[in-house]
Amino acid sequence: MIGKVITGRSFGGCIRYVVQKHDAVVLDAAGVRMQQVNQIINDFNLQRKYNPNLGKAVGHIALSWSVNDAAKLNDEVMVNLAKEYLQKMKIQDTQYLIVKHKDKDHPHIHIVYNRVSN
């Protein structure tokens, strides 16, 4: 598994990228409603207001696996690995969204999280 961590300023841009990509599948979330893109963005931005001085509140991690591991990776396994990754990186007590993309040959997911804790 390879992880790439990115921070940014715009929940809107990040959420739209991960959720509205063709064939994107929302697998799991905590602290945000998952029905509509605008609800997800609003929920992240609402929590962001608890620390307005934090310029880059958006955390974005892409986790990728080898194409050879695809047969072992169903949605439940990828969610569990994502949660384990977050725990080991000490990203806890905050909102997150886990989304699977199918635009590459190799299995990969995107985790968007709020750098402002609950």
Q: How far is residue 48's CA from residue 72's CA, in Å, rounded to a whole number?
A: 36
Q: At what angle do helices 11-20 and 37-48 cross, to 10 degrees?
A: 150
β-strand 2-8 against 108-114: which pairing, if any? unpaired
CB 86 within 8 A of CB 113: yes
- For the chain, the domains span 9-114
Tens-digit pLDDT string for the chain (118 aa): 666 666 667 899 999 999 999 999 999 999 999 889 999 999 999 999 999 999 899 999 999 999 999 999 999 999 999 999 999 999 999 999 999 999 888 999 999 999 999 9
Joined together, the tokens standing for residue 51 give 């620390």
Joined together, the tokens standing for residue 68 give 């050879």
Cβ within 8 Å of residue 42, ≥6 positions away? none
12-38 residue pLDDT tens? 999 999 999 999 999 999 999 988 999
- Helical (H) or strand (E) element with 26: strand 25-30
Q: What is the 3-state secondary structure (H, E, C) of 92-114?
A: CCCCEEEEEECCCCCCEEEEEEE
Which pLDDT belongs to residue 7?
Answer: 65
pTM: 0.92
